[in-house]
Amino acid sequence: MMRETNIIRALASLLLLGAAHVHGQVWSERIVQAPSDVTPSGLFGWSVSLDGDLLLVGAPGTTDLGAQSGAAYLFQRNTGGQDQWDLLRKLVPIGVTPGARFGTSVLLRDGRALVGAPSDIVNGIALGALYVFEEDAGGTGNWGFVQRVFAPNGSSGMHFGEAFSLGDLLVVGAPDYDVDPNNAFNVIGGSAAFVTDLQGQFLFVDLYDRGGVGRSQAVFADRCFTPNGASCAITPLDSLVQDTILYTPLPVAGDLVSTEAAGFTIQSSGIQLIADTQRLVCTVVADPNRQIHTFVTQADSLVQEGYILPDTDQFDLTNRFGESLAQLGDRLVAGAPGSPLTMPLGRVGVFDRDPLATGGWSSMTQLVPSDPYFGDLFGQAVAVAQEVVAVGAPGHGLDDRGQVYVFHDPAATVLDTREELTISIAPVPANAELTVRIANDVPGEVRVLDAMGRIQITGPIMNSTAVIDVRAIAAGPYVVQVIPQDANVRGRSLPLLILR
């Protein structure tokens, strides 16, 4: 039966060759093939991470140190030719066990590589673990193993390391953590927190029972965010105590996210969360399609910055739009790997922040592979760095060994030389008059837009200042846009919170 299924997949893939192309901008493509020691069903490309000219790829299904022990490979750009990605090092963990699925999750940052092994056996128990490697451990450029991170008080089969987030501290998901195995009505799921000591080692703090969470988390603005069904648990990092769990309806297109000046309140629940120092990104399910919502902080509150609605001609619920996310600066990448049964071809959307666009984000391109393979899960993992986007297709090939694609932005070398505005708004939050000051002496207009991108009020810039009366606008998150008349000056926008 498996042989017949593979033949059908191969024939379907042949029909697709030559039909796949890139929608929007034409991005050049480089294929990173699975190394020769990746075994059938190795799933090379299940996870990817970029840091400059380095690419880290996980292959959790490969038989390396035992069945499905997994593997992780580090590639470097330009070593064998312009824009070529050549194998630099295979990361060798110490202590990983058969069935560990090492490579399920990966992160590459500042000379350090973190690799999750959620089924790893620790002290005789299937707790899961996270392996840490450093670039110069064991010698310059050696990328040696330095630490095995785990939660000592966890439960068997909790899949610690399936996902993690690194910010001011390390938060590792344990989606099947069961705080009370004897309680049949207990809701499982949790996250573990770690701090860093002076030597750079991760020190265990505690394992938190969150109930149904742990498959995704993000550290942002001194908080840890973890999705939980129809809620989002928000934990302050300083106290490491869960301070709120909100059970609220999922948002639909155009719904606003409620905010409180005293702290964080988030109305959307996410199936995928990522964050950097600039923003929090959340994929939500809103019938009939998934959406992506972005948030920033303002006056200690979480404010919705924008949203991305999928192009229904290319993305729908069966695509699993937003199943994977990556961001760098004002660029956001969303994977839609599809399903081998209902939507066999995946794709990836690339979006750039654009205050003038609906939702505040413009679609730059939709990436598809040059050699699509039926059920290849293209888009299961995505990463972005500088002018490149890496996409994992772990189901590629007759035997699911997998493949990775690296796309190059054709506009990366085109510099925006326009003068950039320097603006400030006060007071924040606002409830009556809002003053917008522009350091550049340019004429233009100031607009206040709601979360749907609809203009609520406008005002002229006079003597580098615009005063806007916002008393007629309802409380909620908005965006202030400064639109210069001079085409040689680039416009700017800032988030705004209005309270009543």
pLDDT score recorded for residue 315: 55
pLDDT along the chain (500 residues), means of 10: 45 41 71 95 97 96 91 90 88 92 95 96 95 94 95 91 86 86 75 85 83 64 66 59 33 31 34 78 70 80 81 63 90 87 77 87 91 89 94 93 94 62 85 88 86 80 92 86 81 81
> pLDDT at position 254, please?
31
8-state DSSP, 94: S
Are 172 and 117 contacting, i.e. CB atoms less than 8 angstroms apart?
A: no
Distance CA 78, CA 46 (A): 23
60 phi/psi in degrees, rounded to 5: -70, -15
115 C-beta neighbours (distance < 10 Å), count? 29
In angstroms, the Cα distances linking 321 to 291, 311, 326 are 8, 10, 13
254 secondary structure, DSSP code:
T
Strands 361-367 and 23-24: antiparallel
pLDDT at position 391 is 98
Write out the DSSP string of 16-46. HTTT---EES--EEEEEEPPTTPPTT--BTS
Give the pLDDT score at 318. 63
Amino acid 486: pLDDT: 82
pLDDT the model gives residue 261: 25
What is the predicted pLDDT for the residue at 266?
Answer: 35
